[in-house]
Amino acid sequence: MESGLVASHRLRLPLPSASAGHHHHHNLLRHRHAHAHAPAAAAPLRLSLPRHLPGPAPLRLPAALPLRPCLPPLRAASAAAPAPGDDASAASPKFLSVETKTLKKIVPLGLMFFCILFNYTILRDTKDVLVVTAKGSSAEIIPFLKTWVNLPMAIGFMLLYTKLADVLSKEALFYAVIFPFIAFFGAFAYVLYPMRDAIHPTALADRLLASLGPSFLGPVAILRVWSFCLFYVMAELWGSVVISVLFWGFANQITTVEEAKEFYPLFGLGANVALIFSGRTVKYFSNMRKNLGPGVDGWAISLKAMMSIVVILGLVITGIYWGVNKFVIDNSSMPVVERKRKDKPKLSMGESMKVLLSSRYVRDLATLVVAYGISINLVEVTWKSKLKAQFPSPNEYSSFMGDFSTATGIATFTMMLLGRVILRNFGWGVAATITPAVLLLTGVGFFSLILFGEPLTPLMTKFGMTPLLAAVYVGAMQNIFSKSAKYSLFDPCKEMAYIPLDEDMKVKGKAAIDVVCNPLGKSGGALIQQFMILSFGSLANSTPYLGGILLVIVLAWLGAVRSLDSQFSSLAKQDLEREKMLKAQAVETTAKVVRTGNGSLQETLASEPSANGAATKQSQEPESTTTEKSGQQSQ
């Protein structure tokens, strides 16, 4: 078989004369025979031509060869050619229309998330029971505890975590963080709580309270029940560290963006399922006191049972983490996904304030975030003080909190399903108004029952209730619906509000709100309550003023929603028109490219047969004509 080099050269050779035909044919056969038997590393061959023939033209692929007609049409080729990943995706096994390699990651992550949130619900309910119902303490301890103990320990923990992240591997860091939590909760139930009378400085706290006055009941209670406060802080850190840092960091490490879009919303629904089941668990163990004899510390037994579950599920979490790293991530078919870090602007407090003050849109958005944080704290602490008055026993208090967690899970699960319907059918403004409206209605009802409950006593007695119990139930409804509305409507609306902003304001505005508004909202309510308690002597004396402050804040929140809705609708409309225009331009450009491409292709296909015919005609010219042309070119 001839090589491409010889074939392309022979295409341009003129036909030899009759006298030299035999000699020329013999040379070609000799060359072909030598080429077929030459070794692979031999020097390139040179074709020897008769002396009377002109020198060969430079060897190159002739333009006249019919290359393009051999290709399929463009559209047919693109439709027939499979995508690069089609073969792999078709070959990969699936279960319930999901690739098994994806299920090997998502199912363990779902189990981890369920266990973490199951534990968090137990810990969240238990921490309130401990610090609120303890002897010599009350709900007034919570704002002081959040500001002066929880916040500094959270900052210190994150600094320590940052240092450990520099010296430990990811697996070692996970174990180094979660094992102290598991050990502490187990030790608290079996060691610290039974020794509470020996380790708590009750006498010192009594002397301090006597010298400082009843206004300092909250700060002194932190010292009085310091082990309970330590449990409170560790329970809070479980939510922020184990959920936000450990779990979501691990999930983002091993999942792709496509997998996250498909399965992360299911994690949110699974979180509320965990809330429902853990609430039933708290309820069950809190009611164990009813089956125990007199003189038995029922709360100590309930606490041991619940902390045993926390320890067991903590070990299950670490076991799942170990299994995923051992059998899933180490598999070569499922490598760890490495992502490039996005540069997030780090604004100082002054720069953040400038951004907030420079834009009315960002100011309104900041008002939403701050108002929610303050409003929730103002009502929640007052409600927990009434809850202690209604249920002074730790077991009764914990049993009610179990029902509260179950109701919160059911309400949030339902609202997350309805949230998309509300946003789609009624728009951003209505969806963003629901959360402050719920807070306003339930807040007014709650504070009205506290302040004006005495005249309603005869009416409440007909229903088998007291004004205090009615206030507890209304406050529970306020907490349940406000939290469910936050997760299903407030958070999505807040994130949607960033979308119409330009890229610079979108990045800087979000950074400013993260730096200033989130901490201000969380600590603002606690600071207001601390000021009121120290000024008026107790939380009960501060209740009328707290109700007035709540009313003002929620009304400002509703005004900011209305203002932001008008701006958001205008910007969203402009974005929609701009997007439609860009799509129209893209379609028009594509159509022009297709028309131009088809026209040039047809012209090329039409010109190639004529070019091939010219080449064939040239190759069949007599030798004398070719010799004459070459002679004219040399002249």
Mean pLDDT split into 10-residue runs, the chain, 635 residues: 43 45 47 46 49 51 47 42 45 64 85 94 94 92 91 87 90 95 97 95 94 91 95 93 88 80 79 91 88 80 96 96 86 46 54 72 88 89 91 92 93 87 87 91 89 83 86 92 86 82 76 74 86 88 91 94 88 73 78 65 50 46 43 43
**Dist. CA 177–CA 483, nearest whole Å:** 29
CATH class of the region 101-270+278-332: mainly alpha
Q: Cβ distance 571 to 501 under 8 Å? A: yes
Chain centroid to Cα 38, Å, comes to: 65
Tell me the HSE value of 268 on the side-chain side, using a 13 A CA sphere: 17
Task: For the beta carbon of residue 30, count every other beta carbon within 10 angstroms.
Answer: 11
**Dist. CA 173–CA 152, nearest whole Å:** 22
Amino acid identity, residue 633? Answer: Q
Q: What is the pLDDT of residue 91?
A: 53
Q: Structural domain boundaries of the chain?
A: 101-270+278-332, 350-566
Q: What is the pLDDT of residue 220?
A: 94
For β-strands 98-99 and 94-95, DSSP reports them as: antiparallel
What CATH number is given for 350-566 in this structure? 1.20.1250.20
**DSSP helix/strand/coil, 140:** coil
DSSP for 329-366, please give it.
Answer: ITSTTSPPPP-PPPP-----HHHHHHHHHH-HHHHHHH
101-270+278-332 and 350-566, same CATH topology? yes
Q: What is the DSSP letter of 392?
A: -
**DSSP helix/strand/coil, 112:** helix
Q: Which two tokens stand for residue 474?
A: 């209304």
Amino acid identity, residue 552? Answer: V
**Dist. CA 126–CA 195, nearest whole Å:** 18
Could you write out the three-class secondary structure of 212-271?
HCHHHHHHHHHHHCHHHHHHHHHHHHHHHHHHHHHHHHHHHHHCCHHHHHHHHHHHHHHH
Tell me the HSE value of 88 on the side-chain side, using a 13 A CA sphere: 5
**DSSP helix/strand/coil, 500:** coil
Q: Cβ distance 532 to 545 under 8 Å? A: yes
Q: Which pTM value belongs to this model?
A: 0.71
Output the CA torsion sign for 221, 224, 228, 231: positive
Task: Return the residue matching tokens 């070959």.
Answer: 91
Q: Return phi, psi of residue 95, to 5°.
A: -135, 120
